[in-house]
Amino acid sequence: MRECCRKNTAFFYIVFLAILFMIKIKQEELCIECYKAVTNPICIDCLKRELISWLRDFEFNARARQFVLDNLEVNFSNYEELIFDMECIMCGKHNVALCNSCFTKESYRILKSLRVEKEVISSFLGLFTYWQSDKEFEREVEMMI
């Protein structure tokens, strides 16, 4: 009789943990690109505003700024219209579809394609630090800088 009770208890414990796990996954929105949890929910529009401000501060000419924005638009245009449960912590819109790390990595690749100086890339990566939890990207950055 005790063996039966142990098996039932173990079964219910496993089911209980599975339900808790599913609830946790439901609560955390995942990035559409990398499928990792979005821990710092900032929408693409707000991230683009930060990037535009940085580009102006670094005195990128209008043509280079437009190139960066056009490329971001091509890469992320499908995500901007999506509605999610997670609110942007900056503007309050419900359109957080992408983690900041994926946005930063794509912006980095676009800047790199412009062949900007290493100091400019270093400044960008120093301000947009969202990528630092991605070890593979960190190795790419270390090789570049």
- Residue range of the domain that includes 129: 31-144
Instruction: Write out pLDDT tens, residues 47-81.
Output: 989 998 988 888 888 888 888 888 888 887 776 66
In a domain, 93, yes or no: yes
Residue 34 CA neighbour count, 13 Å, CB half: 18
Count CB-CB contacts under 10 A for residue 113. Answer: 11
In a domain, 103, yes or no: yes
In a domain, 41, yes or no: yes
In a domain, 97, yes or no: yes
In a domain, 125, yes or no: yes
Residue 25 pLDDT exceeds 60: no
In a domain, 4, yes or no: no
Name every residue whose Cβ is closer than 8 Å to that of residue 70 and which is 6 or more positions away in sequence. none
pLDDT band at 91 (very low <50, low <70, confident <90, very high): very high
Q: How many domains does the chain have?
A: 1
Residue 28 pLDDT exceeds 70: no
96 within 8 A of 88, measured Cβ to Cβ: yes
Burial class (CB within 10 angstroms; exposed 0-12, middle 13-18, buried 19+) of 43: buried
pTM of the model: 0.70
In a domain, 12, yes or no: no
In a domain, 11, yes or no: no
Mean pLDDT of the chain: 77
